[in-house]
Structure 1
């Protein structure tokens, strides 16, 4: 097996992506998760760039890392100054990391026009910087910035720059497609040439401006690169970096003979991907290969029919190998196979009459504007109702929402709800930041005395979409609410010409689903609430 070292730069290169910001605690938590996954290198940042990175390198030494080596990142020394006198060099050594990564210029245009130094001075800057760090740090990695652009325009000078790094003691030479515009065949040819002339292990660092970062990284590995740099979920400047989730998935599962991560840790790939999204306060990318929520989601009836017979008919790997799961989506495109697959999850797949009723209802509701792809909890409740299993958790008697405002002040929103739980009637009022927040508060006040576990639930997202925009202010709107508790995340949907009513329908389903999933079966198939209704 050939070991491919995985070098993660989520905390440095990834944090340069638009909308990405990690706190110090975020960076430490991500470092620990990457270590558990079996990533070989974690690049923590540039010690001289900001106080947060400086603090990170002080704090990361206290983490009990089992596998990953932390790298401090910096640039070559400044022009016309000795490496030992350069503040950047001193900061890299002071970080006390086992690895230092130095980035230097490869492209002669950058040397002459951006750095404003001679080609010879750039070579000295590279060599001096590597040698100085090598005298203080066990392992020095050299990132050859803009290598492929420089190699295309002046291959001899590009090779001189990385030869200078190799001669000075770099443990790795990493070829960088910094502008992200190279093609896989360009990368392959360049790696071939470099591997013949430079006796140092090679790495690859690709950006995604041509949507080829992963392909270029894999192309380099197939031609001899033994380290891949990238970020979790492809975060990074402009169009991002190579997505290590896809790189790792392909190397581990598609190519024989390569070893990545720690043994047995591939099953945590999806978990780490979503942890980084959550920590960065970013939405998941549903269509992300291997780890996305839609990566193994099936909507077309023919696809579901095939997957039920043989999963490999429409899946390139088993989703469990990367910690993901298969999902069957329900929509107006659904055939009987989709509905049957969903009903099988609830032990109802043999009820052909129910199957037909569910299919008819889904198609009718989607014609009205409902969508169940992001609202599976509402679909579950629909099935329960059609199967005669939907419990009467509570009965709404009425609700009222009012918004009042004064000039120069934020509007005040108030909601009142009157409902019955068994033979008891509750009438509650709550203020909120908006109608949904106020309704949520009033509903909780009314229900939590009867169902205490509703206190575990919170609303995490709220989306509104106009369905038939040509109807103007009378148009229907679709509201999707995402909720969660300590165990699960679920979506619910409501549709109406009135946005408050649509919100109420989605909110009601959110609460009912929480109650339903926390209930337990009783004798005779009747469901019983997890907390008894107060008598």
Structure 2
């Protein structure tokens, strides 16, 4: 059994661009507990008011079997633990578990702390003992342990000994700079496990050399039974151990229990929940949980996967809450197309499928890209079968007003045909012409399809298709992502005019929300 400590709420928030409100932290803590994480490191109560408020809010919150932990440093040099405000703030958090970090590397003791090696050992033992005497479980994080061990193994081990003497029940070896190699982690962890056979040994790797998962697995193979990481690998510099990669590898590849396999079916959902709370775009190429993790594009691959998924998938995607996807592009064969149509619930004859593939290739030559815009591809197939769209744009105009770049605002007017009705609407936006177009279009169609009010625009990307040759006259491709509830979908538009391309992608998104069986509600008839 490997115990998992999640430090998304503490170490994860030290990552560039990651900021969580107290409400976000409370929501994520509850979600981590429901997922099955054993220890949740909530923050450093002595370092900032937000973390202090979080621990105050968490008092009395039921986390089930999960335990909340507070993080902090050993006492300052020359002070008793009970005289150190940071230590007392940890005590005031009233968590059952306290995670303390201390220095293992002589370089840090002498140059960062500017104290003696002997005083550092006393700082560790005194602080651990302070909490152990008060009935707290103490997890000791040996910062820079691997670098310290390689420079002076006897002193690095002595710091662990001081923590053990103070009453720590878990000694965590930190690869704080993230540059240690897996074979080094294995050998050093094995030596520590043999030296402290009665204690739980843990691993806390950073990802600066893209080795955090490999190093954590090496430590577990050497006998470590505690691992610390974050959801999606958030963390300082290049991040921490990515639990969304580490956990399924540990459980499904090594057969080592940590999180129950049935809980891992919620891994992708948890990953996206944390991204949403942190205002981050999910990494499409993330192992296990990314949208591309089980996406197949090459025709040979698709043909084989349709016969037996094991041919190109290392685990069933359902094990981690993901799903198989088939991509369509100008390099696709008929296998891709038929598989994608089946996935989208569209039934075409072979002749219709051939015409659709020819149209996809022609449109991609013009600048479209359908592999990431499945909603637009669905509408393409829908039209080929003779289906119609619920509305069409007959014309539009956009004006940008303002006395300078800092005061500009946009106004858009659209002419939209909905059924037999022709709607002329206008709207303005301080956020630019695309936002103004979106508002004007919504004003035209919401009176006929009020259910579209819950469709949200979540992402907008523009790519110049031939910028080096044509400069500002280049063709552009616009990719738009929308969501309705928990369902996300993407559309594409291409044109030499960026606003026309944007409007094509926008209208496809609203049409898809009305037409696709998984999204549409009862749709009132136009007029």
TM-score range, shorter chain: over 0.9
Q: Would the alpha carbon gap of residues 269 and 366 (structure 1) be closer, same or farther in structure 2, given more than 3 Å must change?
A: same
Q: Would the alpha carbon gap of residues 263 and 382 (structure 1) be closer, same or farther in structure 2, given more than 3 Å must change?
A: closer
SS of the residue corresponding to residue 368 of structure 2 reads coil
Aligned residue pairs, count: 524
Answering whether residue 262 of structure 2 is matched by residue 264 of structure 1, we say: yes
Alignment of 1:9-88 (within 5 A): 9-88=7-86
State the partner residue of 1:488: 487
State the partner residue of 1:108: 106
Alignment of 1:87-126 (within 5 A): 87-126=85-124
Q: CA deviation at 1:534?
A: 4.9
Q: CA deviation at 1:392?
A: 3.5
Q: CA deviation at 1:286?
A: 1.0
State the partner residue of 1:508: 507
State the partner residue of 1:375: 373
State the partner residue of 1:524: none
State the partner residue of 1:351: 349
SS of the residue corresponding to residue 356 of structure 2 reads helix
Q: CA deviation at 1:86?
A: 1.4
Q: Would the alpha carbon gap of residues 383 and 178 (structure 1) be closer, same or farther in structure 2, given more than 3 Å must change?
A: same
Are the equivalent residues in 2 in contact too, given 1:99–1:137 (CA < 8 A)?
no
- The CA RMSD measured in Å over matched residues stands at 1.6
1:395 & 1:213 partners in 2: Cα distance? Answer: 51
State the partner residue of 2:390: 393
SS of the residue corresponding to residue 7 of structure 1 reads strand
Answering whether residue 522 of structure 2 is matched by residue 533 of structure 1, we say: no
Q: CA deviation at 1:419?
A: 2.3
State the partner residue of 1:414: 411
State the partner residue of 2:240: 241
Unpaired segments ≥5 residues, structure 2: none
Are the equivalent residues in 1 in contact too, given 2:389–2:511 (CA < 8 A)?
no
SS of the residue corresponding to residue 286 of structure 1 reads coil
Q: Would the alpha carbon gap of residues 408 and 513 (structure 1) be closer, same or farther in structure 2, given more than 3 Å must change?
A: closer
SS of the residue corresponding to residue 136 of structure 1 reads coil
TM-score by length of 2: 0.97
- After superposition, the C-alpha distances for 1:142-199 in whole angstroms (9 at most, x for unaligned) are 0001100011110011111101111111010000000000011000100111111113
State the partner residue of 2:451: 453
State the partner residue of 2:424: 427
1:332 & 1:207 partners in 2: Cα distance? Answer: 40
Are the equivalent residues in 2 in contact too, given 1:93–1:136 (CA < 8 A)?
no
Are the equivalent residues in 2 in contact too, given 1:79–1:125 (CA < 8 A)?
yes
Are the equivalent residues in 1 in contact too, given 2:131–2:138 (CA < 8 A)?
yes
Q: CA deviation at 1:409?
A: 6.1
- After superposition, the C-alpha distances for 1:93-117 in whole angstroms (9 at most, x for unaligned) are 1111000011000011111111111
2:316 & 2:104 partners in 1: Cα distance? Answer: 42
Q: Would the alpha carbon gap of residues 344 and 370 (structure 1) be closer, same or farther in structure 2, given more than 3 Å must change?
A: same
Pick the aligned partner of 2:150 from 149, 152, 157.
Answer: 152
2:201 & 2:251 partners in 1: Cα distance? Answer: 19
2:244 & 2:406 partners in 1: Cα distance? Answer: 48
Q: CA deviation at 1:395?
A: 3.3
Larger mean Cα displacement after TM superposition, 62-71 or 230-239: 62-71
State the partner residue of 1:328: 326
Pick the aligned partner of 2:281 from 278, 283, 291.
Answer: 283
SS of the residue corresponding to residue 269 of structure 2 reads helix
State the partner residue of 1:209: 208
1:519 & 1:102 partners in 2: Cα distance? Answer: 49
State the partner residue of 2:231: 232
